[in-house]
Structure 1
C-alpha cells in the first residue's frame, strides 16, 4: 500500500508546474537549458528516423509507415529521400506533395511547419534553435528556439540554412547556399548570406528556365 499518496501527488504537481514554466520560456523565445528541457526527451524519435534511413527503397509502404510515426504530421504523396535527420521528429509537420532531397536536417526543438507543394534540394538545414553569444549563457547547452514556417509552393535550393523564427512566403525561391535569417515575402527570388530578396517572381518566369535575377 502506498502510505504517501499525498506526497506523491505533490511531487507530480511540482513537476508539472516546472514543465509548464519551461514550456512558457520556450514559447517566448527565451533562453533555456538542456536540464530544464529534459522532460521532453520522450518526444524524440531517433530510432524511427534511423530505421527509415535504413529501409530499402523497394519497401515504400514501410517507409511511409515509419515517416508517419516519426514526424508530427505528414501529408499525401510525400517524398523524403534518406538519409534525413531530426532532433525530435515529432515537431515536424509536412503538407501534401512535398519533395525533400537527401541530407535534410530538421533541428525541431519547436515546430517546423511546411506547406503543400514544397520542394527542398540536398543538404538543407532547418533549425529552430540558436545559442546566446556570451559563453556563460551557453552553460548546460543554453539555447533559444523559435518556430519555422515554410508556406505552400516554396522551392529551397541546395545547402540553404533557415534560422530560427523565419517564415518563407508562398511560392518563393531561395537560392542555393543562402542563409535565411529573416522572413521572406511571397513570390520572390531571394539569395545570399544573409539571404535578401533580389526580385519578384512574375509571369515572365513562365517562359524562362532559371530563377536567376535579370
Structure 2
C-alpha cells in the first residue's frame, strides 16, 4: 500500500469538510474539489468517505439540487479519485474499497428521459439507477460508466471505454460499448464469475 506524504501534487489531509457528511481518518481532499447538492441540514442524501480516500484536483461530486431519496455517494476506504473525475450520485453511487478512478472518468447514475413529451431533452425528467463499483476495481482514464451498471470486484475498465452493462469480477473490459476482452488471473477470474452468476464453487 502506498504511503502518501505531503509531496507536490498530493492533496492535503482533511479532518472535516462542510459538504461531506461522514469522513474516515486520513482522507485527502484537494481545494478544487466541488459539490452540487442541497445543504446537508435540509437533505437526507449523504456523501460518505472511508479512511484514506483521496480526491484529486477538479473532482466533482453531484447529489443534485432536488431532494430525491435515491441520491447518495459512498466511497470506500483507500480509494483514489483522480483529477477531473465526475461522480454522479443522483441515482446512488457506491464505490468499494481500494478502487482506482482514472483522470477525467465519469460515473453517471442519472440521465435525462429521451421519450418524454418535451422536445428539449434538458426539460425532461431525470432517469436514475445506481452505479456500483466493486472493491479493487480500476476505472481507466476518461471512461464513462452509465446508470444502472455494476462493475465487479477487481475488474478493469480500459481507458476511454463506455460501459453500458454489468462487468463481472476480475474482467478486463474495453471499448465503446465496453466488451470483455479477458479475465485477470484466469483461475481466480472464473471462480469469481461463477459466484457472480450464482453457479456456486468452480474448481
TM-score by length of 1: 0.62
CA drift at 1:91 = 1.4
CA drift at 1:131 = 1.9
Task: Note the alpha carbon deviations across 1:3-54, whole angstroms, 9 max, x for none.
Answer: xxxxxxxxxxxxxxxxxxxxxxxxxxxxxxxxxxxxxxxxxxxxxxxxxxxx
Structure of greater relative contact order (alpha carbons < 8 Å, 6+ residues apart): 1
Q: Does 1:154 align with 2:137?
A: yes
Higher mean displacement: 78-87 or 182-191: 78-87
Q: Which residue of 2 aligns with 1:189?
A: 172
| Distance in 1 of aligned mates of 2:163 and 2:110 | 13
Structure with the larger helix share: 1
Contact kept in structure 1, 2:49 and 2:75, CA below 8 Å: yes
Choose 1 or 2 for highest CA Rg: 1
Structure 1, unmatched stretches of 5+, are: 1-55, 205-214
| Distance in 2 of aligned mates of 1:139 and 1:157 | 28
Alignment of 1:108-127 (within 5 A): 108-127=89-108
| Distance in 2 of aligned mates of 1:175 and 1:133 | 28
TM-score by length of 2: 0.65
Alignment of 1:42-53 (within 5 A): none
| Distance in 2 of aligned mates of 1:97 and 1:183 | 23
Structure with the larger strand share: 2
| Distance in 2 of aligned mates of 1:110 and 1:201 | 30
The 4+ residue runs of structure 1 with deviation greater than 6 A are: 56-59
Q: Which residue of 1 aligns with 2:12?
A: 60
Q: Which residue of 2 aligns with 1:15?
A: none
Task: Note the alpha carbon deviations across 1:122-181, whole angstroms, 9 max, x for none.
Answer: 000011112222362547332210000001000011000000000000101000000000
Task: Note the alpha carbon deviations across 1:85-115, whole angstroms, 9 max, x for none.
Answer: 1222871100011111101101221210000
Alignment of 1:1-214 (within 5 A): 60-61=12-13, 63-66=14-17, 68-69=20-21, 72-88=47-63, 91-134=72-115, 136-137=117-118, 138=121, 140-202=123-185
| Distance in 2 of aligned mates of 1:140 and 1:68 | 29
